[in-house]
């Protein structure tokens, strides 16, 4: 059993977070079956809190995808992806986090409006020839015109291309 404040290797951290993302039940089973060799779920949440979770494109997620691509290239495998996006309703609520008001419309450009967000526009890439998926961007919105969505989509596709992430299709659930 690991002691409090135990250090975990980056590989184990990545495995733990990925397994928990795919199936919290499987994570609990593996953790209990192997003498609690994996960190507690509270520890995972603490690690995830340290990620940049501001609206816009998440550089840490893009870096993780690049790492997956690099690992695949080492075994002569090319990873290809779908870009999936959808709008989800969220509860309107303004909260203060570290002295900053959050919950307003925020398109990830450093400018927030005084309108409360009622939806999140979320983008995720899904590996077509594997089993990897990760959210890469989100935006807090009230409503967007079609042209604004096209602008955001184009920005994300351009960013993925610049980072050598091979997106073959775009899927929307509108």
Phi and psi, residue 16, nearest 5°: -60, -45
Q: Whole-angstrom distance between the N-terminal and C-terminal Cα of the chain? A: 47
Check: CB of residue 70 under 8 Å from CB of residue 173: no
Q: Which residues contact 163 (CB under 8 A, 6 or more apart)?
A: 62, 65, 66
- pLDDT tens for the chain, residues 1 to 174: 445 556 888 778 878 877 777 778 888 888 888 877 888 888 888 877 656 678 899 988 899 899 889 989 999 999 999 999 999 998 998 888 778 888 888 888 877 678 899 999 999 999 999 888 889 999 999 988 899 999 999 999 999 999 999 999 999 986
The neighbour count for residue 98, using CB atoms within 10 Å, is 5
Q: Which of 43, 44, 20 is nearest to 30 (CA)?
A: 20
CA-to-CA distance for 88 and 141, rounded, in angstroms?
10
Exposed / middle / buried, residue 96 (Cβ in 10 Å: 0-12, 13-18, 19+): exposed
In the chain, where the domains are located: 10-49, 56-172
Check: CB of residue 163 under 8 Å from CB of residue 66: yes
């Amino acid at each position: 059993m690991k002691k409090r404040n135990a250090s975990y290797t980056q590989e184990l951290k990545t495995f733990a977070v990925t397994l928990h993302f795919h199936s919290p039940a499987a994570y609990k089973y593996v953790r209990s079956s192997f003498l609690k060799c994996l960190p507690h779920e509270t520890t995972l949440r603490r690690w995830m809190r340290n990620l940049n979770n501001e609206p816009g494109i998440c550089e840490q997620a893009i870096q993780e995808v690049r790492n997956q691509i690099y690992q695949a290239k080492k075994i002569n495998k090319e990873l290809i992806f779908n870009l999936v996006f959808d709008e989800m309703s969220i509860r309107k609520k303004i909260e203060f986090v570290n002295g900053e008001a959050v919950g307003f419309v925020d398109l990830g450009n450093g400018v927030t409006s005084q309108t409360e967000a009622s939806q999140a526009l979320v983008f995720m890439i899904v590996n077509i020839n594997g089993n990897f998926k990760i959210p890469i961007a989100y935006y807090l919105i009230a409503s967007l015109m079609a042209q604004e969505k096209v602008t955001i989509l184009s920005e994300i596709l351009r960013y993925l291309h610049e980072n050598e992430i091979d997106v073959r299709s775009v899927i929307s659930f509108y």
